[in-house]
Amino acid sequence: MTSFEMVPGMEKPLTLICSQPAPAQATYRFLVVCRLLVLLPALFSMETCEGGTPDESSSNDVPAKKKNVGAEKRLTFDGHLKHDPVFVESGKAIVYTSLEKFNQLCLMKVGFPVNGETEPVRFHGAASTSELMATFSKDDRVYAYLRNNGNLHFEIVLEDRGAGKSVSYNPGGGFAGVRNISYAPDGTNVIFAFPNQNGPQQIQSLDRDGKTVSLLTDSNGVNVCPSYSRDGNQIVFSSSRDGDFDIFTMNSDGSNPVNVTQSPGMDTHPCFSPDRKKIAFTSIRKGNYDIYLLEIASRKVQRLTSNPEVDDYPCWSPDGKTVVWVAERNGKRDLYSRKIE
């Protein structure tokens, strides 16, 4: 587990904050004031950059070009809690999870790009329990989602639209929750996160028949949020095996895990760009949930959002030109997009 010094709302870590005895408080306060004065312009900049261009990441990262992204564009307008958007229909629509009733999560679908006429609609109109985290094969022929089918219990539902078949995978009795599913682009299997018997949570693979499960990770800690690359050869995921959540990649058979971020603070919800050269992910390394882009070859990190509210759940359009994510603006959670050059 890593720890970092951050007075939230400030862009730079505060050092000398921890374990000060009481007599040192005056010195501490003096240092805080000095640091605040130094950072005031940066703070002001952060507060005024809503909807503007992103800035570069921490001083350890190479600054990114400031004009390689467009302004953020709002795609939905109801403000409901949302998560896990994914592109479908070759980029012409987005399916996401939304809190449509106070006690029910629903899969929703909205056209893309938004043309003023497309209203989000229920993806499964008749759903009577929470459904979430839809994931699709590249051709949309098969898809899967999680269904809350009991007390603290989630199953995977695998739908084959071509064959008109639906099968489910029940992870076991009692409290059992499958989490974070991603369909292989070729539709052969779905990967997900689930705890093994002794505590750590692993990435596992389930064949499309819903019967055969195999383990892809075998590490300490919590492995979450696996996501396939568009060619199906790689998986990106988040893991706390080394302490806090960082981003890892591995081959689709689970071999060759590589840690690609080592930042203090949680890095999570990663997804590959379609060309597999970049990873979009969420990080709270600077004290707030923001979207970052990692260039895999150089390890350069670019901060895509710098809003004092929550930015989370990034996903790429199939052409790699747009990132869509869930942004909290004025206390409301909606889908937003931004062009990436």
Partner 1 sequence: MSMLKIGDFKANSCHGMSRRSFLTASATAPFWASAASASGQVVPPRTGKAKSVIFVFLWGAPSHLDTFDPKPDAPAEFRGPFSTIGTRLPGIRFSELVPRLAARNDRFSLVRSNISLDGGHPGAGTVATTGYRENPEPVQPSFGSIAARHFGEDEFPPYLMLGKGVPRDVVRPIKGYGGGRWGKAHDPFMIDCDESGKVNVPALKVLKGLSPERLQDRSSLTRALETIRKSVDDSRAEYWSTTQQKAVSLLTSPKALESLDLGRESEKTRNAYGQTSFGQSLLLARRLAEKEVPYIHVNWSEYVEALTPNTDFGWDTHIHNFDLLPNRHCPIFDRAFSALLDDLEERGLLDSTLVCCMGEFGRTPRINKRAARDHWPQCFFSIWAGAGIKPGRVVGVSDRTASQPVTDPVKPPAVGATILDQMGINSIVRSELDVLPDGEVIHDLV
Is 168 an interacting residue with respect to partner 1 (CB under 8 A)? Answer: no
Binders of partner 1 among 300-329, rule CB under 8 A?
A: 310, 312, 328
Complex with partner 1: residue 3 or 259, whichever CB lies closer: 3
Least separation in angstroms between CB 168 and partner 1: 15
Residues 51, 70, 150, 318: which binds partner 1 (CB under 8 A)?
A: 150
Site for partner 1 in 185-204 (CB under 8 A): 195, 197-201
Q: Which stretch binds partner 1 (CB under 8 A): 49-57, 60-68, 142-150, 206-214?
A: 142-150
Q: Is the CB of residue 219 less than 8 Å from the CB of residue 201? A: no
Question: Cβ(123)–Cβ(134) under 8 Å?
Answer: yes
Q: Which stretch binds partner 1 (CB under 8 A): 20-28, 38-46, 56-64, 226-234?
A: 20-28
Residue 161 CB, shortest distance to partner 1, in Å, is 25
DSSP 285: T
Among 28, 93, 141, 207, binds partner 1 (CB under 8 A): 28
User: Applying CB under 8 A, which of residues 256, 297, 331, 341 lies at the interface with partner 1?
Assistant: 331
Q: Which of 333, 336, 337, 340 binds partner 1 (CB under 8 A)?
A: 333
Give the SS3 label for residue 199: coil
Q: Which is nearer to partner 1, 69 or 107 (CB)?
A: 107
Q: Which residues, 6 or more positions from 25, have their beta carbon under 8 angstroms from its beta carbon? A: none
Considering only residues 86, 134, 236, 266, which one is a binding residue for partner 1 as defined by CB under 8 A?
266
Binding of residue 19 to partner 1 (CB under 8 A)? yes
Contact region for partner 1 (CB under 8 A) — 59-67, 95-103, 226-234, 254-262?
Answer: 95-103
Cα–Cα dist 177/205, whole Å: 15
C-beta of 296 vs 324, nearer to partner 1: 324
SS3 47: helix
Taking the least distance from each CB to partner 1, the nearer of 100 and 296 is 100
- Sequence-distant (≥ 6) Cβ neighbours of residue 164 within 8 angstroms: none
Task: Phi first, then psi: give them for residue 266, nearest 5 degrees.
Answer: -65, 130
Q: Could you give the angle at the alpha carbon of 176 between the alpha carbons of 104 and 105, nearest 5°?
A: 10
- For the record, the structure tokens of 97 come out as 């999870």
Which residue, 307, 309, 304, is CA-closest to 328?
A: 309
Determine if the peptide bond prior to 270 is cis (ω within 30°): no
* Contacting residue, 55, 72, 155, 244, with partner 1 by CB under 8 A: 244
- Of the candidate spans 19-27, 62-70, 85-93, 294-302, the one that interacts with partner 1 by CB under 8 A turns out to be 19-27
C-alpha distances out from residue 323 to 164, 250, 318, 319, 341, Å: 32, 23, 10, 10, 11
Q: Shortest gap between Cβ of 265 and partner 1 (angstroms)?
A: 5
Assess 213 for contact with partner 1 (CB under 8 A): no
Answer yes or no whether residue 48 interacts with partner 1 by CB under 8 A. no
- Order across the sheet with 300-303: list the strands: 267-272, 278-283, 290-295, 300-303
Q: Which two tokens stand for residue 331?
A: 């206390």
22-30, 39-47, 227-235, 291-299 -> range binding partner 1 (CB under 8 A): 22-30
Record the tokens describing residue 60, joined without a space: 């350890």
**Are 169 and 178 a contacting pair, CB within 8 Å?**
yes
